[in-house]
Structure formats: C-alpha cells, structure tokens
Amino acid sequence: MAENRLEDVNHQQTEQVEVVDVPYGLPREVKYCTKCIISNQRPLAKKSEFKHNSNSATETIDFDETGVCAACRYHEKKTNQIDWQEREKLLWDLCDKYRKSDGSHDCIVSGSGGKDSVMVAHLLKYKYKMNPLTVTWAPHMYTEVGWRNMQHWIGAGFDNILFHPNGKVHKLLTKLAFENLLHPFQPFILGQKNLAPKIAAKFDIPLVFYGEPGVDYGDPGNDGAQRKKHYHTGADYDKMCLGGVPIKELIEKHGASMTDLKAYLPIDPEEYDQKGIQVHYLGWYVKWDPQEAYYYAVEHIGFEANTERTEGSYSKYSSIDDKSDPFHYYTQLVKFGIGRATYDAAQECRNNKITREEAVALVKKFDQEFPKKYFQDFLDYLGITEGRFLECIEKFRNKNLWEFADGTWKLKKPVWVEKRNDE
Ligand SMILES: [Zn+2]
C-alpha cells in the first residue's frame, strides 16, 4: 500500500517536471465557463488575422473571478439591463438619417444568406423601410442547401452582389493558410470582412450593417453600436501577411500580384473617412438570439435547415453553406480543443435553449467527430493528399491540450471531466 502511494507520488512528480510548451500564446491552464462550457482557450479574431505566424500571442475570451465568460456576462446584461426600446429608437434615428426615397440603395448588408444576414436584411427592408444592397463573399465550395438558401434570400426581395474571388489566388492563399497556420478559413474571413466597406465606398452607400457584435468580447458597451474603424482599415501592406506569408513574398515567390491580393486587403483609412463609412451592428440595436434568427429566416424567406446534423455537432442550421466549413472547426479543435459542438452548445446554453449538463453531453458525443462527408472535396480544393493533411494536423496539434493514449489523441482535460483525478 505504502509502496503504491510512493509510486503515485513519483508519478505525479515526473508529470509535473515535464513541462509542455503552450502554443499560440494561449493560457496554460484550461478552464471552462461555469455557465456555458466555452473554454478559456477560445481565441478572439481581431486584426491579428494578418499576423505572420501561428505562435504570436492570441487574445482569448475573458473570464471573471467567478469563472463566468465574457459572452455569458453580456448575455445577462442583454436580458436584464439593456433598454431595448431605447436602442430601437436609436436605430430608427439612424435609418431616418440615411434612408433614401429615390429608389437608390441606402445601406449595405454583409452576409452569406445564412440565418443571421437574412434576418438583418429582412428587418431593415420590411420593418425599418430601408433599401439594402446585400453583399456576399462566396464560400469556397457551395453546398446544395447553401446555394438554395442564397436563392431564397434574393428571392425574398433583395438585390445582391455575389463576389467570387479569383479562384486560383483563393486556392493558393487557402492552401498556404492551411499549411502555415492550420487556419484554412483565414483568407475567406479577411476577404469577407473587408468586402462590405469597399463596396460601400465604391457605390457611395456609407451605412453598412452586420448582425450581432462579437459577443465573446463581452459587453460592447454604449458606444458598441459601430464596429471600430481600425478593424476594417489598413494601409501598411508591408507589414501584412496572407496565409502566414508576407505580401512581398507572395508576389516574389508565389507568383501573385498586388491586383490578385487586393480583394483580401482592408480599405485605406483615408478613403474610409472621406466616404463617411460607418459599420453598425443590428444586434446592438435589437435583441439578438441565434435560434430566433433561424425561426425568423424560416418564416420570412423559406430558409432551409439541413436534413441531417452537421458533422462534429448536433445542429442543422448554422454555417451550412460551405463544404469546407467543417475543416475550419476541425482545425480549431486541434489547436484550441474547441470543436463545432462546443460553439453550438455554448451558444444554446447561454441563450437558455439547453442546460449546461446537456451541453456537456453533446460536446462529449459530437465535438471530436472527424468530418468525412466533404473530406475529399476539401483535399481536392487544396490540391493536397490525405497524408499531407494529416501531417499538417499533427504539426499544429496543441500538446498542452492533447495527449496520445491508447492509440489515439485525447484531450487531457475535456469538459466532461473538467478535473483529472490526479489534480
Ligand atoms: Zn460562458
């Protein structure tokens, strides 16, 4: 007995001595929000999307001293403290200021035809009597249901500019982003983020709307109606990277030209000011609930959910328009221990659709499922083999979170265990 105990102690000591590197500038100790299950490894996307490599410090979701995440705190405020009538009045004032009566567009709605952008555009047009021009950065590979929803959206009475980036360049950047950052969605995210303000400038429609403010950042505050200018602007191209490669190197070594890359780069801050561009969140003015947005989209445009659940989760209606989308979530699982079911369950838990216990069970069941359905399409898109795919996955696997045991990779501290017996 005593010997066993000694062995245990020795075992613990060896474990403690063996310090694993913490990649991506994440917190070493994993914590889960006591309300919604999101972990403190959750990265926040900001301007750092242009960063050089995957090891620069990552800003992560904030937790308070009681172990509650910023998104949950903001949700409480949304429910109990914000005067939504007052906020809606501010929205009417804003719309009154920009509304046009000569038939021209008076605002831009950035969106994919998913439930949130559908609701934003529909409310603005039919409730607030605006005339929105909707703007879409095309997915890498449309799913059938995604394309049908896009048609339903336009069919419900909206003009749309569907921007397809140069296919050759988009493939190159996506491949580089996968191989250099294990972030295949980085070029898409940058392109999408930068498109609406540029279209706004081009067509002289300065008022731009998005859906909900990034709730993970916590309370956007009383001046949080607008997305900050610096998020959408930039002129210092020498310091920017795409797919983890400096712009200069993309031109010199990868055969890209500045013209090819322009679509991904932000609008110049001077032009942004000159044109008086303002990017607002509709979700700051009206109370936002993702599931309600889904019901709204079904009712008003005939939005279709999938017939089967999304791989890696249990949901059927979020982010279903791009065949490569599951790999965005899968790479997040490898790097941050957070898969798609975690995002879905955390959000539903926060919005009181499911309990925390149910959320934990859903994460345990689905979060680590490998997305097989479009795997070959994804490999073909990138032009890589399965072997190369796996090589990149293992190169970026976060060893602070994962351990290899019984012939497979397992999370050291999954949400369904939270504390290991030896802690
Ligand atoms: Zn939370």
Nearest Cα neighbor of 260 from 200, 170, 349 is: 170
Q: Is the pLDDT of residue 295 over 50?
A: yes
pLDDT computed for residue 50 by the predictor: 52
180 pLDDT more than 90: yes
- For the chain, domains (ranges, CATH) are 2-78+312-411 (no CATH), 83-285 (3.40.50)
Model confidence at 357, pLDDT cuts 50, 70, 90, reads very high
Question: For residue 149, what pLDDT is reported?
Answer: 96
* Cα 325 from Cα 378, distance rounded (Å): 9
Distance 74 CA to ligand 1 centre (A): 9
Place of tokens 């069941």: 365
When pLDDT is cut at 50, 70 and 90, the band that residue 13 belongs to is very low
CB atoms within 10 A of CB 50: 20
Q: Mean pLDDT across the stretch 29-47?
A: 89
State in Å: Cα 353 to ligand 1 middle. 14
Res 181: pLDDT: 94
Residue 109's pLDDT band (boundaries 50, 70, 90)?
very high
Distance 178 CA to ligand 1 centre (A): 29
Ligand 1 mean position, distance from CA 360 (Å): 13
CB 162 within 8 A of CB 153: no
For every residue of 62-119, DSSP letters joined together read -B-TTS-BHHHHHHHHHHHT--HHHHHHHHHHHHHHH--SSSS--EEEE--SSHHHHH
For 121-170, how does the pLDDT look when each residue is reduced to its tens digit (9 = 90+)? Answer: 999 999 999 999 999 999 999 999 999 999 999 999 999 999 999 999 99
Alpha helices per DSSP H over 367-418 = 375-382, 386-396
* Cα gap 53→51, rounded to integer Å: 6
**Which tokens in the block code for residue 398?**
């976060």
| Residue 294 to residue 303: CA distance in whole angstroms | 8
CA of 292 from ligand 1 middle (Å) equals 19
For β-strands 408-411 and 402-405, DSSP reports them as antiparallel
What's 138's DSSP letter?
P
**Mean pLDDT over the full length of the chain:** 90
Please return the burial class of 371, using the count of CB atoms within 10 Å of its CB with bins 0-12, 13-18 and 19+. buried
Pick the most confident of 75-84, 310-319, 383-392: 383-392
**b or e along 328-351 (b: 16 or more beta carbons within 10 Å of the residue's beta carbon)?**
bbbbbbbbbbbbbbbbbbbbbbbb
Distant-in-sequence, close-in-space partners of 274: CB < 8 Å, separation ≥ 6: none
pLDDT for res 46: 60
CA of 102 to the centre of ligand 1 (A): 46
Give distance in angstroms: CA of 110 to centre of ligand 1: 27
CA distance 409 to 399: 10
* pLDDT at residue 418 in the model: 65
- What is the predicted pLDDT for the residue at 57? 65
Task: Answer whether residue 55 shows pLDDT above 80.
Answer: no
- Contacts of 292 by beta carbon, 8 Å cutoff, 6+ apart: none
Q: First vs last Cα of the chain: how many Å apart?
A: 20
What percentage of residues in the chain have a pLDDT greater than 90? 79
Dump pLDDT digits (tens) for 236-289: 888 899 999 999 999 999 999 999 999 999 999 999 999 999 999 999 999 999
Q: Is 379 exposed, middle or buried (0-12, 13-18, 19+ CB in 10 A)?
A: middle
pLDDT digits (tens, 9 = 90+) for 387-401: 999 999 999 999 999
